[in-house]
Amino acid sequence: MDIIIRKDADAAADLVAKLTINAVNAKPALTLGLATGRTMEIVYDKIVEMHKAGKVDFSKASSFNLDEYIGLEPTDENSYRAYMNKFLFDRVNIDKSKTNVPLGMAKDVQAECKRYEDAINASGGIDFQLLGIGMNGHIGFNEPMSSFSSLTSAKLLNEATIKVNEKLFPNPEMMPRKAITMGVKTILNTKKTVLLATGESKAEIIAQAVEGPMRASCTASALQMHPDCIVVLDEAAAKNLKMRDYYDFIFNNSNEWAEFR
Ligand code: GLP
């Protein structure tokens, strides 16, 4: 796990956008894993800017999103499908028929979860996964106590998540209490993953996820087992890390990061 700390949220998002376009440029038929959330909005803005400047072509890429609320139509403005159309898919040249988001309106939710996991595998697996982190340490919607060996499945959202996310709905009661999410193992199976967290409110959970023990009550801590995981933070989100000097040493001395210093 590489921990990269940038001075502010803008610089952190810029790095994540650059890592994403570098991955697409290295493999145009890349299978992207995509995340939603407020933290990601600025990353998508930057990717769109880079696309408009001719720095990246998405025409051969495909994507799988982490999660979707159960009970929302894809056309519902609060669905993650609508979020992705708005922030990324409608603004770049990705073929929308190759973008995948779990179907929150599926009649048979279990069958939908299996279909989604199978589709990821059939694509050859996710090459490059973007992740945010919830206030309770969730990745995707893998709420506390989700098994580290879970595949795509339906999850009941916990109180902390409801409190944070219901603010994004016109009326808090409209927020679904269930979601379909890639499992922790689905995320661990991705070839490379980049988690972005910014702001002081994420400092405590980031310290637990990155430097704390691995435990199902903070599913992001499972990323310690991921073979190629980069955690990008701003100063505020990195505030509680104990080995900060070491992370900076790696960033400043390894060849992999030379172009970003
Ligand atoms: C939602 C998503 C997560 C995301 C999290 C963080 O709950 N299901 O995938 O990581 O939000 O959101 P934010 O960036 O708004 O803090």
- Locate 101 and state its tokens: 């988001």
Phi, psi of 166 (to 5 degrees): -65, -20
What is the pLDDT, as a whole number, of residue 141?
Answer: 98
| Residue whose entry in the numeric block shows the structure tokens 């992001």 | 220
What is the pLDDT, as a whole number, of residue 201?
Answer: 98
Atom 13 (ligand 1) nearest CA: 37
What is the pLDDT, as a whole number, of residue 184?
Answer: 98
Distance in angstroms (rounded) separating the CA atoms of residues 129 and 66? 9
User: In which residue ranges of the chain is pLDDT below 70?
Assistant: none
Atom 7 (ligand 1) nearest CA: 134
| Closest to 196 in 3D by CA, of 47, 32, 43, 62 | 43
- Span 128-151, pLDDT tens digits: 999 999 999 999 999 999 999 999
Please report, to the nearest 10 degrees, the dihedral formed by the alpha carbons of residues 174, 73, 132, 212 taken in order.
70
Q: How far is the CA of 38 from the centre of ligand 1 (A)?
A: 7
Angle between helices 38-52 and 80-87 (to 10 degrees): 30
What is the pLDDT, as a whole number, of residue 173?
Answer: 94
Which ligand 1 atom is nearest residue 135's CA?
16
What is the pLDDT, as a whole number, of residue 243?
Answer: 98
Within 13 Å and on the Cβ side, how many CA atoms surround 164? Answer: 15
What is the pLDDT, as a whole number, of residue 105?
Answer: 98
Residues with CB under 6 A from ligand 1: 35-39, 66-67, 132-134, 140-141, 161, 165
Cβ-Cβ contacts under 8 Å for 26 (sequence gap 6 or more): none
Question: For the whole prediction, is pTM greater than 0.75?
Answer: yes
Q: Is 57 a catalytic residue?
A: no
Cβ-Cβ contacts under 8 Å for 77 (sequence gap 6 or more): none
Q: How far is the CA of 144 from the centre of ligand 1 (A)?
A: 14
